[in-house]
Amino acid sequence: MTKVYYDADADLERLTSSSVALVGYGNQGRSWALNLRDSGCTDLRVCVRADESRERAREDGFEVFELEEASAADIVCVLIPDDAIPALPLRRRDDGLTLVASGYSFAFERFAPAGDLGMVAPRMLGPEVRRCYEEGAGFITAVGVQHDATGDALARILAVAKGIGGLREGAIELTPRQEAVLDLAVEQILSPALTHVNTAFVGTMLGHGIPLEAIMTELFLSGEVERTYRLLRKEGFSGQLEHHSPASQYGQLSRRGSYDALDFAPIMQKLADDIASGRFADEWDAEGEAGYPKLEALKEIHAGPGIQALEREMRAKLGPEAAGARASEDAEE
């Protein structure tokens, strides 16, 4: 059975009695620093390069240090982009704990300092980690041990997770490898499949003479799909189903097996193998070393000026942006 941890499973004293260094002051770094301070962590240092991040941390009232100066802390939270982690100038103590917010660098053996190694990965965007904490709300987290050198790794990891507010809604125990594979699989397996399905749907509806604006409204602009997913989260599948009309319920359920003959599994399995074997991580490293030429070319094709102009036009016509534009036009009249 998968283990789920809550606030009662962690002892904040393990955090507040330790020296803590945060490496990076970006999306996650800033939220973690503010939350840990509010959770009673007093020996807290922010270690960043000398630029805008450093200024922001100073403005927020933190003492700032060079990256190297994180090494001596009892607990080091590494909160910089995954690709940049392997090159960090860190020399960790055998009894220290080094934490990451994503399993990637541990899973693909890009980072293996001395001491305890762990993961606290919020399933939440960085700035929201702060907002949820301030609101007293929580967010689901994935926590895991990569290496237990002291015999105390899990207790220390849970203390940090509690300190950032990451145990309020529950933390799922995952190895960093499981977390990394799942995270990459959503991006590389599920997202392209959904894009493929959406594209086929748009083509089918255009073929039936439905205007593109109406199709896009159904898919994105109305927010209906988004709200349905929100209800799915809050009420579960059967609960959210009751919010649809009987005809909608019957249509959805009676056609549910329509695609059963399509076998996605072999394609998904191949993509999952690329992730789990480390082939994707090697490919991504090579892409970084070459200066990201393929990424730039792919963005130009799939999210370039043509797509951006179409989306701008749609949003100006329909949805909240259109409402805003109309309201300011009315005010001018």
Stretch that binds ligand NDP, among 26-34, 168-176, 199-207, 208-216 (CB under 6 A): 26-34
Query: Which of 2, 51, 301, 329 touches ligand NDP (CB under 6 A)?
Result: 51
CA distance 100 to 116: 11
Distance (Å, whole) CA 273 – CA 269? 6
Contact status: 187 vs ligand NDP (CB under 6 A): no
186 belongs to the binding site for ligand NDP (CB under 6 A): no
The interface region with ligand NDP, picked from 4-12, 27-35, 135-143, 208-216 by CB under 6 A, is 27-35
Nearer to ligand NDP, 90 or 216 (CB): 90
Question: Beta 75-78 vs 64-65: how paired, if at all?
Answer: unpaired
**C-beta of 49 vs 294, nearer to ligand NDP:** 49
Cα separation, 281 vs 187, in Å, equals 14
* Interface with ligand NDP (CB under 6 A), residue from 33, 48, 90, 215: 48
Give whichever of 54 and 156 is closer to ligand NDP, judged by the CB atom. 54
Closest CA to 151 of 229, 192, 95: 95
Residues 78-107 that bind ligand NDP (CB under 6 A): 79-82, 84, 100-102
CA distance 234 to 261: 31
51 within 8 A of 73, measured Cβ to Cβ? no
29 binds ligand NDP (CB under 6 A): yes
Closest contact distance (angstroms) between CB of 324 and ligand NDP is: 26
Phi, psi of 195 (to 5 degrees): -60, -40
**Residue number, 88 or 215, with CB nearest to ligand NDP:** 88
- Side chain identity, residue 93: R
Strand ranges (E), 123-212: 141-147, 171-173
- Give the largest CA-CA distance in the chain: 71
| Residue of minimal Cβ distance to ligand NDP | 26
**Rounded to the nearest 10 degrees, what angle do helices 320-332 and 305-317 cross at?**
60
Task: List the one residue from 5, 20, 25, 73 that touches ligand NDP (CB under 6 A).
Answer: 25
How many residues bind ligand NDP (CB under 6 A)? The answer is 24
The tokens for 107 are 């899973």
Q: What is the smallest separation between the CB atom of 67 and ligand NDP, expressed in angstroms?
A: 6
How far apart are CB 268 and ligand NDP at their closest, in Å?
23
Per-residue binder mask for ligand NDP (CB under 6 A), 108-147, x = binder: -------------xx--xx---------------------
Question: Per rule CB under 6 A, is residue 275 in the interface with ligand NDP?
Answer: no
**149-171 core/surface letters (b: 16 or more CB in 10 A; e: else):** beeebbebbbbbbbbbbbbbbeb
Q: Which is nearer to ligand NDP, 10 or 129 (CB)?
A: 129
Whether 169 contacts 200, CB under 8 Å: no
Cβ pair 115, 96 in contact under 8 A: yes
Nearer to ligand NDP, 109 or 313 (CB): 109
Sign of CA dihedral 150, 153, 154, 160: positive
Contact range with ligand NDP by CB under 6 A, out of 75-83, 154-162, 190-198, 258-266: 75-83
From 141, 136, 198, select the one nearest 174 (Cα to Cα): 141
Residues at the site binding ligand NDP, with contacts judged by CB under 6 A: 24-29, 48-49, 51-53, 67, 79-82, 84, 100-102, 121-122, 125-126
